Amino acid sequence: MKSRRKFTASFKAKVALEALRERESLSSLSSKYELSQEQISKWKREFIEKSELVFTMEQPDRKSEKEIQKLKEIIGDLHVQNDFLKKNL
């Protein structure tokens, strides 16, 4: 019995984008990536339906910058508390 293959999101997006470009037919993409035409069509449809999520998601860089700034503030507070405790011991 053949096991199921698992595909990464980036691979699915790559195939869906190639299908959207329509430079190659579905049958040629199917043989190129060893996928069924139905699977490529499904990924293409899903890609189109969820494309607006790209513009609604918060950018990861901005989120990580906020998180880093918050952690730096916490470290600064802990450093001040540590210095205070050292002086009072």
Report how far residue 13's alpha carbon sits from residue 19's, in angstroms, rounded to the nearest whole number. 10
**According to the model, what pLDDT value does residue 31 have?**
95
The residue among 8, 60, 78 whose CA lies nearest residue 16 is 8
Supply the pTM of this predicted model: 0.60
Check residue 2 and give left, alpha or beta (phi > 0: left; psi -120 to 50: alpha): beta
CA angle 16, 19, 25 (to 5 degrees): 150
Query: What would the pLDDT profile of 45-89 be if each residue is shown by its tens digit?
Result: 999 999 888 888 766 666 678 888 999 999 999 999 999 888 887
Report how far residue 30's alpha carbon sits from residue 86's, in angstroms, rounded to the nearest whole number. 69
Task: Please give the DSSP secondary-structure letter assigned to residue 38.
Answer: H
Query: What would the pLDDT profile of 19-46 be if each residue is shown by its tens digit?
Result: 999 999 999 999 999 999 999 999 999 9
**According to the model, what pLDDT value does residue 61 have?**
64
Task: Please give the DSSP secondary-structure letter assigned to residue 50.
Answer: T
